[in-house]
């Protein structure tokens, strides 16, 4: 039996490892992934504030590929679930018995006019790319006056807390270096609040007030004029165009499922892989499963969510192979968002599909703590490289 996994990111590798640990060698498991490197992306927020180096977040894909799993270093260009086929650029048609779709999320840099041309110049930066993250740290060190803007996209995104994490680190850096009084800090978002879960929202609103951070909701970034250092936002209530000048701007572009899935029969009407939110089996094609950022499971798109999703997916695939109908339905939407609120301070937000806190530790995790920062900075990378990607945790 041939199991094909599209995507060698967090979801793909973790699922491949768990399946390899569960199935005998008669089952062929393949991962289609074009990238030479695999990245631990959660650390890029810290890299953007001068903590660690981005090189530490990268390993060769061949080093993280599970043993006895075939790596097809190619790009998927089409999936035909009616014929049980995946089409790749070089390999052509690849047949499968079971398919796992986990290609992650696509960042659409070109959907903000002028952004690609401005990136890395005159204060325009983003932590959402290995290529760009160094610019954040460079421009932060140069920032000593004017306005610092932080944007949030008008789309689902990976790590919904990341757009504001870097804001708190920038504010803390400026305060520690005696520059804070000369820089106005503003967070802009098409949403209606700083965070969707009430318990953590209250704590973050308190921090924002104490640090004199301005917030402007229900506006969406449309264009960057890098030469004149201006950003243009659309007011989603009045349709008015709002112009803001900046000295520093951290931009998070809109995101979507990868282009090769456009017009795919696997997508729902919103553009994401249509799965049962508890089992991750496709709603129409029983031999197709999907998890991670590309699925339509209504939870935050984070690595922590994948850590809980992957065991459910692997177990259900084994049950599907054995023609069992008692699928694991235990996934309740758990996700985690470690919100860095400054150097050495972090709120560990954990919650489920209903927005109910699902906290791991026996204390109030809505309060910024050094211990939770230590967890993010030093423990979670080890969990990732040596636990998740090995199919152990």
What contacts 278, CB < 8 A, 6 or more positions away? 312, 329, 330, 331, 332
On whether the CB atoms of residues 132 and 119 are closer than 8 A, the answer is: yes
Q: How far is CA 231 from CA 18, 124, 150, 227, 343, in A?
A: 45, 10, 11, 11, 28
For residue 214, give both structure tokens.
Answer: 């301005």
96: which residues sit within 8 A by CB, 6+ positions away?
2, 3, 4, 84, 85, 86, 287
Token pair belonging to 110? 């070109």
Contact indicator for 151, 250 with CB cutoff of 8 Å: yes
Helices (H), ranges, 244-358: 303-321
For residue 375, is it left (φ>0), alpha (ψ between -120 and 50) or beta? alpha
Choose, from 76, 125, 159, 358, the residue flagged as catalytic.
Answer: 159
* 109 φ, ψ (degrees, to nearest 5): -60, -35
Half-sphere exposure (Cβ direction) of 373: Cα atoms closer than 13 Å: 16
Pair of tokens at residue 151: 């944007």
Name the phi and psi angles at 124, rounded to 5.
-95, 120
Query: Catalytic: 159?
Result: yes
Kindly name the residue from 76, 88, 125, 337 that is annotated as catalytic.
337
> Which CA distances in Å does 244 have to 89, 142, 155, 186?
43, 20, 21, 10
Hey, is 142 helix, strand or coil? helix
How many Å apart are CA 374 and CA 348, to the nearest integer? 11
Active site residues: 159, 337
């Amino acid at each position: 039996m041939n199991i094909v996994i599209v995507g060698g990111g967090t979801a793909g590798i973790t699922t491949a490892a768990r399946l390899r640990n569960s199935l005998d060698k008669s089952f062929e498991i393949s991962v289609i992934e074009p990238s030479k490197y695999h990245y631990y992306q959660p650390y890029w927020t810290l890299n953007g504030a001068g903590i660690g180096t981005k090189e530490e977040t990268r390993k060769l894909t061949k080093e993280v590929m599970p043993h006895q799993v075939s790596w097809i270093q190619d790009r998927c260009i089409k999936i035909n679930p009616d014929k049980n086929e995946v089409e790749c650029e070089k390999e052509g048609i690849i047949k499968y018995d079971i398919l796992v779709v986990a290609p992650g999320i696509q960042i659409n840099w070109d959907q903000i006019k002028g952004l690609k041309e401005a990136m890395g110049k005159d204060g325009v930066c983003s932590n959402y790319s290995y290529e760009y993250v160094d610019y954040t740290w460079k421009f932060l060190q140069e920032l000593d006056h004017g306005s610092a803007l932080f944007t949030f996209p008008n789309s689902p995104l990976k790590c919904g807390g990341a757009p504001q994490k870097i804001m708190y680190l920038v504010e803390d850096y400026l305060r520690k270096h005696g520059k804070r009084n000369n820089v106005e800090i503003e967070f802009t978002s098409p949403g209606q609040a700083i965070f969707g879960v009430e318990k953590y929202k209250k704590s973050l609103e308190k921090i924002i007030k104490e640090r004199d951070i301005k917030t402007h909701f229900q506006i969406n970034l449309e264009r960057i004029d890098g030469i004149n250092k201006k950003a243009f936002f659309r007011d989603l209530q009045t349709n008015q165009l709002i112009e803001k000048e900046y000295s520093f701007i951290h931009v998070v572009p809109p995101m979507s499922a990868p282009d090769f899935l456009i017009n795919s029969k696997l997508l729902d009407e919103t553009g994401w892989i249509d799965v049962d939110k508890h089992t991750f089996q496709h709603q129409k094609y029983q031999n197709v499963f999907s998890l991670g950022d590309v699925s339509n499971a209504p939870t935050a798109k984070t690595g922590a969510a994948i850590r809980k999703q992957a065991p459910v997916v692997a177990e259900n695939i084994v049950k599907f192979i054995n023609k069992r109908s008692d699928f694991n339905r235990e996934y309740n939407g758990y996700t985690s968002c470690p919100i860095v609120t400054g150097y050495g301070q972090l709120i560990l937000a954990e919650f489920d599909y209903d927005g109910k806190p699902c906290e791991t530790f026996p204390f109030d995790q809505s309060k910024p703590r050094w211990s939770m920062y230590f967890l993010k900075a030093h423990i979670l990378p080890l969990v990732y490289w040596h636990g998740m990607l090995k199919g152990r945790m």
